[in-house]
Amino acid sequence: MKDIFETRLNKSPTDYKVIVNVQPNKNFDNLTRITKMFLDDLSFKAVSIVNSASLALFSTGRTSGIVVDCGEIRSYVTPIYEGFPLYHAFNKNKIGGKDLTDIIANGIIDDKLGINPLDLKSLRLIKEKTLSIPYLKDVNYYLNTSNDIISPEKMLYKLPDETLINIPKKSRLMASEVLFK
């Protein structure tokens, strides 16, 4: 890597600082080796190892909060206080986007909305565009009243054949609720 900087880029690593973005569950021994490699072997000016959850929270202008990182197979919940992850409260669970897509698919099948449950592309887009997370009241409040979290136009989804369908509130709320149980 040092050769790439010096020969191809005509730059010296000693002039640069490095930010390493890591997942909250990374092994501290590996992070020590990475830092040693950047500082000792590659001679970079400085290295900062920053938790990805902290960076995500900083991007919203906050320094304290909870970051939910939902991947395809797994989700991570990281509480952050004043920019520092609270590792003792970090939660890794085996629920991911694939599971939420399955819940949306089951809700759509139950409501007979006319979408093929094997059309994963449409189901993923429905999940990404219409899923809602209650933040002011309990999920049961929204399920039992006419109040909704998102605007009526965001409840609609346009199918590839230009048909508009209304995604039911129960499907939208219950799929996201799985992340917090």
* Fold category of 2-93 in CATH: Nucleotidyltransferase; domain 5 (3.30.420)
Domain ranges of the chain: 2-93, 97-180
Neighbour-count burial of 44, counting CB atoms closer than 10 A to its CB (0-12 exposed, 13-18 middle, 19+ buried): buried
* Fold category of 97-180 in CATH: Actin; Chain A, domain 4 (3.90.640)
Q: How confident is the model at residue 137 (pLDDT cuts 50, 70, 90)?
A: low
Q: What is the pLDDT of residue 2?
A: 64
Lowest mean pLDDT among 46-60, 76-90, 149-163: 149-163
Q: What is the pLDDT of residue 61?
A: 92
Q: How confident is the model at residue 136 (pLDDT cuts 50, 70, 90)?
A: low
Residue 84 three-state SS? strand
Q: Cα–Cα distances in Å, from 161 out to 47, 120, 122, 165, 167?
A: 52, 16, 11, 11, 16
